[in-house]
Structures are given as structure tokens and as C-alpha cells.
Amino acid sequence: MDPRVTKKESCRKPILCAKLPGVPAKRDKKARSSAPREQSQGQPVSLKQLAKTLGLSTTTLSLVLNNSEKAQSIPQETKDRIFAAARDLNYRPNFFARSLRSQRTYSVGVLIPELSDGYAAMVLTGIEDFLLQAGYMYLVTSHRHKDKLIDQYPRLLYERSVEGLIAVDTRYDQDLPLPVVNVSGHHEIPGVTNIILNHEKAAELGLQHLVDLGHHDIAFIKGQIFSSDTAVRWEAICTVAQRLNISIVPALTQQMEGESASPEVGYEAAVRLLNTKVPFTALFAFNDVCAIGAIRAFREVGMRVPEEVSVVGFDDIYEAAYHIPALTTIKQPLRRMGMLAAETLVKRICETDHVSPAFVQVEPDLVVRESTASVGTGKTTAAS
């Protein structure tokens, strides 16, 4: 590693190989004519060839193309000539040589359960928003809840020289020499920062809302067994329910089954609830996708939402506000959690002496829409 370049200094000005920074929207005729057109269709030129073509030093080109602070003293006309020639001659920075010199790749790995709408997609949006601003590329892998891939992918990403890892709703228990941030991680592991929700507050918001509407016979659908939040959220619900004198009836407690991320698993769990014939007036679902599937099951047997059964979801995914009826839900700030995860990881990469807490907690909000209402004249009875 070049002793003149420290990790903190390299973090200030990340080097992107995906695009050339500062390329002017319009090039004047002088800048355009300075690059020989006959080479534009050939092989990419090297930095030395580009410098020779322009009659400039490789140092000057490197400062401009890397958007260095020292390039501020270089005339804008010269910068325009350099960017114009780089584009016309198809110049590409030698990423691998640059990485060897700086010992940096400006890339991170992201582990998610699946590429689908909902929770993971919204967290990933936040991760992407921050990393793009910070000048980092990211490699996304989806493990589809397969234990072999969950164990294998972190090491594969490490071997591809990522500088850190972000796990989203994914078990992480490895000992790689990398900073790691786990969104919805609940275990204290050396080197791992967990971004978590205040689940007890979330349970209190949802259950208190239903109690205020007069609901006491409440059904519950728990998350799939592999979800990082399932056990923690259920424990919080049980704690708050006891505090509010809400009885949790085993027959009115179902769990989503299977690996699907579609509303089908919520639909099937709701069908099982209906088949118990035990009356209930409200449902507290594990997430919005589950709630949407459950509402479909209720409608198929003629139960009106919210007139006969109120439904509370969780997460506040994009579809929640546009579903019919619009879904009352516990808003988990998923995009912000993704941005916080990426920001924390980049800080840990750049500041090797930075001490990050094992847990960073964010707060939920209640979003009241159309899927909840006061209890009517009688209790809702399941399918007859």
C-alpha cells in the first residue's frame, strides 16, 4: 500500500470506475476537436496513451479524472479537454491496478433473503441511496433461506474483496475480518452492529389501537420461523398483551408457513384461523404482506374489513397505502434503517478506530388508515 495514502484520506474521495465524474453536459467545439475521432471506435486507451494524445502529464489526468481536490487549480478548459478525450477514446480506469495501489475496492456485499417486494426491497433502497452518494458499489446476493448459501455467501463476497457486509433479515455468525452490519439482527456478535426496531413499542402501538377501538378478541399471525424478527416480535406482543389484559387464545394464533414472500402465506394462515370457528373481531398480522393475504381470505367468506373484522399490518410497505381498504399498519422505517446500516458500515470501513455499539435501535410509528374501525354491535364470527 502507498504509505502516502491513508485509509481515511482514501475515504474522502472514493474512486468510481462506473463513470467519469464531472463530465460536462455539453462540450464546446474546441474540446470536441481535441480528441482524434479515428481512435474512438478502437480499443480502450491507457492513461499514458491518453496523456500523450492530449500533450499533458499522467499526473494531471489522474487528478482530473479522479476528481481530486488538487484538480481545482487546473483550468476548466483543460478539464473539459480531458473528459472529452476520455469519452471519445473510450478510456477506462484500470480498476484492479488502482485497487492494488490503494488497497481499496469501494465495494460492499449485501445479503438478503430474496429479491421481492416488501421488507427487503425497502431496506435495500435505503442501502442503495446512501452507498451511491458515498461512491460505493455493492454486490447483492439472495440466499432464499437456504442454510448452505447463508453460510457460503459471506465468504464468497469476502473473497471478492468487499470491504464490509450488510446482512438484511439474515442470520450471520461467521468470523470474517470485515465490519458487518445486520439489519434486524438480534445477537451480540463481535464485529457486528445490529440495526433493530423497538418491537415492544411497536406491539404497544398496534394493540393499544385495537383496544381503544373496543377490540379484545384479537387473532394473531406470527412470522415465518426463519425470519429474524419472528421470535422477538412475538415475545413483545405477549408482554404488551399481558399488560393490557388481552388474552392470547392459542386457537387464534397461527403462523405463516413456507418460504414464499407473497400474500399467499398470510391467506393460508387466515384460512386456518377461520376454520377454528373461534370468534374474533381483529387481526394483528406479522407484516403487511400477510395482512393483505388475510383480507383476501376474509372477503372470500363474506367478512367485511373493517366493519366486521379490523386488520393491523406491520412494516408500511409501499402497497399498504394503496390496498383496498388502505392498511392500518405499524410503520417500520425500513428505508431509513437501510441508510443507517450503510452509513454505519462506511464509517466503520473508513475509521478503523471507530467504536460502534452492538445495537442501534429505531422507533416505529402507527399509521391509521381504513382497515381498522370500532367494534360493531356484536363479535365477529368466523366462517359458519
Using CA atoms, how far apart are residues 70 and 83, in angstroms rounded to an integer?
Answer: 17
- Backbone phi, psi, residue 60, to 5°: -60, -45
Express each pLDDT in 257-277 by its tens digit: 988 888 999 999 999 999 999
Question: Under DSSP, is residue 358 helix (H, G, I), strand (E, B) or coil?
Answer: coil
DSSP 220-244: EEEPPTT-TTHHHHHHHHHHHHHHT
177 shares its domain with 252? no
Same domain, 37 and 129: no
pLDDT attached to residue 96:
53
Q: What is the pLDDT of residue 21?
A: 41
Structural domain span for residue 168:
105-197+335-363
Do 308 and 266 lie in a common domain? yes
**Residue 62 scores a pLDDT above 60:** yes
Cα–Cα nearest to 253, from 233, 243, 261, 205: 233
DSSP state of 328: E
Last residue of a domain, one of 92, 113, 142: 92
For the chain, the domain total comes to 3
Identify the domain boundary among 92, 116, 139: 92
Residue 76 located in a structural domain? yes
Element (H, E) at 147: helix 147-159
Query: Based on the domain organization, do 214 and 327 belong to the same domain?
Result: yes
For residues 163 and 224, state if they share a domain.
no
Same domain, 26 and 57: yes
Do 310 and 209 lie in one domain? The reply is yes
In the chain, the percentage of residues whose pLDDT exceeds 90 is 64
Could you list the beta-strand ranges (E) of 92-217. Answer: 107-112, 137-142, 165-168, 180-183, 192-197
Question: Average pLDDT over the chain, rounded to whole?
Answer: 85
Question: Which one has a higher pLDDT value, 308 or 47?
Answer: 308
Q: How far is CA 79 from CA 36, 93, 291, in A?
A: 17, 16, 56
pLDDT band at 232 (very low <50, low <70, confident <90, very high): very high
Q: Is residue 1 situated within a structural domain?
A: no
Q: What is the pLDDT of residue 10?
A: 55
Residue 323, in any domain of the structure: yes
Find out whether the peptide bond into 179 is cis, omega within 30 degrees of 0.
Answer: no
132, burial (CB in 10 Å: exposed 0-12, middle 13-18, buried 19+): middle
For the cut 90, the answer to whether the pLDDT of residue 296 exceeds it is yes
Closest CA to 202 of 224, 231, 225, 234: 234
Cα–Cα distance measured from residue 384 to residue 274, given in angstroms and rounded to the nearest whole number:
9
Mean pLDDT of 215-239: 96
Regarding whether 316 and 236 lie in a shared domain, the answer is yes
Mean pLDDT of 74-102: 77
Paired strand residues for 17: none
Residue 70 falls in which region: left (phi positive, over 0), alpha (psi -120 to 50) or beta: alpha
User: Letter for the amino acid at 272?
Assistant: R
143-187 pLDDT per residue, tens: 988 999 999 999 999 998 899 999 999 999 998 999 999 999 999
CATH code where residue 357 lies? 3.40.50.2300
pLDDT band at 376 (very low <50, low <70, confident <90, very high): confident
Are 126 and 184 spatial neighbours (Cβ–Cβ below 8 Å)? Answer: no
Which of 61, 92, 123 terminates a domain? The answer is 92
pLDDT value of position 11? 60
Q: Are strands 310-315 and 359-362 parallel, antiparallel or unpaired?
A: unpaired
Say whether both 183 and 135 belong to one domain. Answer: yes
